[in-house]
Structure 1
Amino acid sequence: MPTYMVFSAPGALTAEQEQRVAEAITAAHSKSTGAPRYYVQVILGAGEGCRRFVWGQPSQKQLWIRGDIRAGRSDEQLKDLLLELMRGVARAAEIDEEDVWIDLNEVRPTAILKFRTVFPPAGREKEWEESLPAPLREKLGITP
């Protein structure tokens, strides 16, 4: 399950912008990787109260996203994901694209556990979903 943590200056985003940023990240990840939307979690306000510096000065403009995603994507998929994230988040937050900074970290699927099971390799989501118990599939909105 990809986890995206979004860091910005305190008060830089309204609640509405935060909702739009979360939706933009979810949409970009699902579109670029083919992973289901329910895989994506977004944490906003990460580090609330901490101060961020860029070039030794307090950062007011940059919105930084740190994402942990499953390893196994091609360089082209990663590039597409980065660009989709940048564009969507800039629109959602109403900031310049150059002020969206993203660092993605790839995690081996065997090091990820969600829903009481180890995650599948990229591209094997369907068979993983089919192996889940029926009540969990229903909860996640997975139809047979």
Structure 2
Amino acid sequence: MATYSIYYAGVSLNTHQKFTLAQEVTKIHADVTGAEAYFAQVIFKELDLHDCFIGGVLLDQPHIFLSGQIRLGRSEQIKKQLLVEIEIAIQITTKLSSHQIWAYLDELTPSLMIEYGQILPSVGNDKAWFSTLPDSIQKKLTLLSS
């Protein structure tokens, strides 16, 4: 599963903006990678502007920092497309300029990840993995993807 952590400082995100961003990031992840929507989660964390430094200097304007953890195995083109589309979605939702949005992707080996009680599959083996889940989890995940 991809985990996108959105840290924001000097800008307030209301519930509607968080919902919008969570929906957009999830849709982008699913559309660009081909993975089901239930393979994406978005977490928000507000930071105090006075707790953020760039180059050792206190942050002087609002910023959003996105840290995305995705499964290893995606092409460079897919990773670049994820970053660009997510950054645009953040710009549209928050009205921040591109220089105020920093985004990073880290790749994790799927065999070192566990979700829904199961080690995650390699990219491309999602359907076989899904079929090994208990029926109750399959129903829940099917609802998340619809």
Q: TM-score scaled to structure 1, two decimals?
A: 0.88
Contact 1:28 1:88 in 2 (8 A): no
TM-score normalized by the length of structure 2: 0.87
Per-residue deviation, 1:12: 2.5
1:103 alignment counterpart: 104
- After TM superposition, the structure 1 = structure 2 runs for residues 59-138 of structure 1, keeping only pairs within 5 Å, are 59-138=60-139
Q: Counterparts of 1:7 and 1:97 in 2: how far apart (Å)?
A: 15
Letter in 2 for 1:61: P
Offset, 1:59? 4.6
1:141 match: secondary structure: helix
Task: Quote the offset at 1:73 in angstroms.
Answer: 0.4
After superposition, the C-alpha distances for 1:3-42 in whole angstroms (9 at most, x for unaligned) are: 1111111553222212212122111111111111111111
State the Cα deviation string for residues 22-73 of structure 1 (Å, max 9, x = none): 1221111111111111111111025568711223122532210011111110
Unaligned runs of 5+ in 1: none
The residue identity in structure 1 corresponding to 2:7 is: F
Aligned length: 143
- 2:142 match: 141
The 1:63/1:124 distance shift into structure 2, 3 A limit, reads same
The letter for the 1-side match of 2:40 is V
Higher strand share: 2
The aligned residue for residue 27 of structure 1 is 27
